Structure 1
Amino acid sequence: MAGIDGFGTQFKRGDGAVPEVFTALANVDNIDGPSLSRDTIEVTTHGSPEQWKEYLGGLKDGGEVSIDVNYDPSAHDSLVADLDDKAPRNYKIVFPDGRATTWSFAAVMTGFSSSAPHDDKLSASLTFQMSGKPTIS
């Protein structure tokens, strides 16, 4: 197989209850991320071979997840509360790969930007900063 069609991927938001229930966000048309990265720690010394810098792996960062939606105020304005909340909330990205591979993570919403052009659909972009280690299942 050459690839997997991304159509049907879901972005889900947890309700914080126990047990937690996740609901798919309506009208998502694009999901970017997570954008995992790792810092490096330079450990170069006067004895480093042939004056080449040397590094160790440092702290890891889950990065950001951003989603674009066909903006519906009645479906999406409740998410502004996530922007007001300092505590991370649980989210999931569920892929349509036959196994329903899922990235689960805690994140803080860091951005909510809507657009209402005169000649196109209402849209919004939402940005989430991951907090801690994501899990893949």
Structure 2
Amino acid sequence: MADAQIGFGSDFLRGVTSVGEVLSITPPSLTRDVVDATHMKSTEGWREYISALRDGGEVSVEIQSKPSSTAFQALVADLADDDPVSYSIGFPDGSSWTFSAFLTGLESTDPLDDRITSTATFKITGKPVFAAS
């Protein structure tokens, strides 16, 4: 049997409140920098590296909501706020990501014959925490 699941049932929270009717979530894109530590006597001329700083990356969430909704208005307020906000992603299996982040982008689409959607992009500050179910 495959070790897979669909995203149905996942949620994106601002504090303890859902940001609205979530359509898709892109979880943290974790990275680690490395620093070149190569020197004149590096073995057989191979480059050597040392571990450097880690980065929690970005998170994005797509929601469907009316621009007048409380959830959308909270996102607009977060974009104006200079302090990070606590967010979390809950998955159907009970696992989760929790992190502090700045809202760095909020883009909406308003098509003639389809639902209005918005995509919010967040930059994580500090260490994101993953909790297994």
TM-score (ref. length: structure 2): 0.91
* Equivalent residue number for residue 110 of structure 2: 116
* Equivalent residue number for residue 37 of structure 1: 31
Question: Does the Cα contact within 8 Å between 2:102 and 2:123 map onto a contact in 1?
Answer: yes
* Whole-angstrom distance in 2 between the partners of 1:72 and 1:50: 62
Question: Does the Cα contact within 8 Å between 1:71 and 1:114 map onto a contact in 2?
Answer: no
Question: Does the Cα contact within 8 Å between 1:71 and 1:124 map onto a contact in 2?
Answer: yes
Q: Which 5+ residue runs of structure 1 have no aligned equivalent?
A: 15-21
Say whether residues 1:66 and 2:67 are aligned partners. Answer: no
> C-alpha displacement at 1:78, in angstroms?
2.6
Task: Describe the SS at the equivalent of 1:121.
Answer: coil
> C-alpha displacement at 1:119, in angstroms?
2.8
Task: Describe the SS at the equivalent of 2:75.
Answer: helix
Question: Does the Cα contact within 8 Å between 2:64 and 2:115 map onto a contact in 1?
Answer: yes
- Count how many residue pairs are aligned between Structure 1 and Structure 2: 128
Q: Which 5+ residue runs of structure 2 have no aligned equivalent?
A: none
* Equivalent residue number for residue 7 of structure 1: 8
Task: Describe the SS at the equivalent of 1:7.
Answer: coil
Measured on the aligned residues, the alpha-carbon RMSD in Å equals: 1.1
Say whether residues 1:94 and 2:93 are aligned partners. Answer: no
Q: Deviations over 1:5-64 (max 9, x none)?
A: 2111110001xxxxxxx0112111000120000011110001111211111111000000
Say whether residues 1:54 and 2:48 are aligned partners. Answer: yes
Partner amino acid, structure 2, of 1:40? V
* Whole-angstrom distance in 2 between the partners of 1:63 and 1:45: 31
* Whole-angstrom distance in 2 between the partners of 1:123 and 1:67: 10
Partner amino acid, structure 1, of 2:21? N
Which runs of structure 1 show a deviation greater than 6 angstroms over 4 or more consecutive aligned residues? none
TM-score (ref. length: structure 1): 0.89
Question: Does the Cα contact within 8 Å between 2:98 and 2:128 map onto a contact in 1?
Answer: yes
* Whole-angstrom distance in 2 between the partners of 1:34 and 1:134: 8
